[in-house]
Amino acid sequence: MKKNYLKMVSIGFTCLLLTTSCVIEKGGSKEAQVTQHKSVKPKIAKEDSVKSLYPKLEGDNENEENYLFYNMAQKNKKVTLTFHDNYSNDLINHVTLYQDDEIASKNVRVIDTSIHDGGQFTIELQEYVESFNKIELKTTNGQSFMLKTGQYSFQKINIHNTIPENERWGVEGYNTGENVASFTFDATFTREGGSPANYKIYLPEAGTKKFKIAETHKVNGNNKQLEMTVQTNSPIKFQHQGSYEMLVVQTNDKNQQYLMNSINVAIDPDNK
């Protein structure tokens, strides 16, 4: 008697499931109707959810301008893009860079698999890219979407770290100060010793011209310790955020070089 009772319960439960699938959609096999109900609706909802994030992620990025260097001696370049919200729905595993509607580069390594910490997303360029202003993100779950990054422009530069290690200036500590379009970099460098050294400050030419940047610096110290202050300033009133890169390079009388420091200088709008 117990076996029959269980069989009847099982049959009744199956009929209940089949009846539910018939209410959802007419036509086709009952098994196919159940599968469709489980897969299609959540996917549509997820696509809509991702699209609703576009304005939050982009903000006013399309108005931003960023001027950086690409050191041809290193053959790659890490770039941290800034958005206005986070994205962690799916893992990001592939990116393509665009300048307007033309592909700028597919040769990009994904470092961050999500947009995090208030909009940070780091990638690594594996080849020189002149410029880009859009990025296509692809996820492990098959999502693909395009975001405006702001305008990124790169100037080629060749800095080979050929100065012997014991003569290189290493960063002991530094402070930075930013106020709208004014920037100050105070740093202490130390080394074991070596031949007299000279120093050069590099700013991207296009960025210097666009932002009308004026740069001054002073250096004090001896053969083993160096105090350096670099100041940059722009008279322009900025309506949107922007940035430019500053390089501090050590040179000597043997035409050798060493990249002492690289600083990304952020510019805030005047009305912030």
Domain borders along the chain are 50-157, 165-267
Q: What is the mean pLDDT of the chain?
A: 85
Contact between 94 and 138 under an 8 Å Cβ cutoff? The reply is yes
Whole-number Å distance between alpha carbons of 131 and 108: 13
pLDDT value of position 113: 97
Whole-number Å distance between alpha carbons of 201 and 187: 13
pLDDT value of position 51: 75
Place of tokens 């800034």: 82
pLDDT value of position 4: 45
pTM of the model: 0.81
Would 50-157 and 165-267 be classified into the same CATH topology? yes
The packing angle between helices 2-24 and 30-51, to 10°, is 50
Pick the CATH number of 165-267 from 3.30.460.80, 2.60.40.10, 3.10.450.50, 3.60.15.10: 2.60.40.10
pLDDT value of position 47: 60
pLDDT < 70 regions, the chain: 1-50, 271-272
Of the CA atoms within 13 Å of residue 25, those in its CB half-sphere come to: 14
Could you tell me the fold of the domain covering 50-157? Immunoglobulin-like (2.60.40)
The first and second tokens of residue 247, run together, are 């390089």
Contact between 99 and 105 under an 8 Å Cβ cutoff? The reply is no
- Please name which of 55, 142, 146, 53 lies closest in space to residue 95, comparing C-alpha atoms: 146
pLDDT value of position 194: 84
Number of H helices, E strands in the chain: 4, 15
